[in-house]
């Protein structure tokens, strides 16, 4: 890993950690829930889980690029998976969710970091990363595991507590059939952009900047 890559990883890591902590603090000030429930709900958002994934991975790439964990997160397959997930965060939010609420002030700032700035930074980091030409089509199915686990958790947690983090997975409001249709659409989008990232990666020239 070159100095410019480490510097970019550092910038993304600091931004992601700041955004996550700041968003949690915003939630503390605005929610009338117990600390335990508030924390569980906070980490039930795909946005938060994925930004946490970004924060951890880029921190390892920044501070420990030569150690096992840094090597793991630096692998083209791992990095592309994380890029895919955070890209989906930005895409779904900006296409389907942005206009459902209007955060103000500092909340608006953290919202933009989590849903727009960080996805773009990670996408740029991925674009400048080496070994994308080694990506394989078989990774597409592997990359579906995390979204599927998240969906199962969300449906199970919602069935128990009545809380669904996103309106398009709210079984109480939409019914299970419509929720599954919505999830099928999101799944198709994930498959599409998985294939697109692999296609771009396999046609890219070796990069080491």
pLDDT at 206: 62
Q: How far apart are CA 82 and CA 162, in angstroms?
A: 29
pLDDT at 209: 45
Residues with Cβ within 8 Å of 72's Cβ and at least 6 positions away in sequence, in order, are: 60, 78
Residue 207 has pLDDT above 60, yes or no: no
- Nearest-CA neighbor of 134 among 207, 77, 196? 77
Q: Report domain extents, the chain.
A: 3-202
Residue 208 has pLDDT above 80, yes or no: no
- Nearest-CA neighbor of 144 among 192, 199, 179? 192
């Amino acid at each position: 890993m070159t100095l410019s890559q480490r510097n970019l990883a550092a910038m993304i890591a600091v931004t992601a950690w700041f955004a996550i902590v700041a968003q949690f603090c915003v939630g503390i000030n605005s929610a009338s829930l117990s600390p335990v429930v508030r924390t569980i709900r906070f980490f039930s958002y795909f946005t938060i889980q994925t930004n946490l994934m970004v924060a951890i991975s880029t921190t390892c790439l920044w501070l420990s690029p030569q150690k096992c964990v840094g090597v793991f997160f630096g692998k083209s397959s791992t990095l592309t998976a994380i890029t895919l997930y955070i890209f989906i965060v930005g895409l779904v939010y900006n296409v389907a969710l942005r206009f459902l609420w209007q955060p103000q002030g500092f909340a608006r700032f953290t919202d933009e970091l989590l849903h727009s700035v960080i996805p773009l930074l990670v996408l740029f980091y991925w674009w400048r990363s080496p070994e994308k030409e080694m990506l394989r089509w078989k990774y597409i199915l592997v990359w579906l595991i995390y979204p599927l686990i998240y969906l199962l958790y969300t449906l199970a947690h919602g069935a128990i507590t009545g809380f669904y983090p996103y309106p398009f997975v709210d079984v109480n409001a939409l019914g299970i059939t419509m929720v599954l249709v919505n999830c099928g659409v999101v799944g198709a989008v994930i498959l599409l952009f998985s294939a697109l990232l692999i296609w771009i990666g396999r046609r890219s020239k070796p990069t080491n900047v």
